């Protein structure tokens, strides 16, 4: 899912964690920022935390008519 990047997140982590994320990103052919976003989405999905933009997509999807093939 492509989305507009509108927020900046800056944080400090241990060098070993940074290297692990970099390695994971290279293995997945992703940027580090995208890899972290994927990891956050995965974690939120596993523990039941809803991401706001997902709520908006669900609400929009529920507005679409069903069964109309043109």
What would the pLDDT profile of 4-63 be if each residue is shown by its tens digit? 667 889 999 999 999 999 999 999 999 999 999 999 999 999 999 998 875 566 666 677
Instruction: Please state, in angstroms and rounded to a whole number, the distance separating the CA atoms of residues 63 and 7.
Output: 28
Cβ contact 34:25 at 8 Å: yes
Which residues, other chains included, contact 39 with Cβ-Cβ below 8 Å and sequence gap of 6+?
Answer: 21, 24
């Amino acid at each position: 899912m492509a989305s507009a990047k509108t927020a900046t997140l800056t944080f400090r982590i241990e060098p070993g964690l940074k290297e692990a994320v970099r390695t994971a990103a290279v293995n997945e052919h992703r940027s580090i920022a995208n890899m972290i976003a994927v990891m956050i989405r995965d974690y939120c999905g596993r523990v039941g935390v809803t991401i706001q933009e997902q709520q908006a997509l669900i609400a929009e999807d529920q507005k679409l008519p069903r069964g109309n093939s043109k």
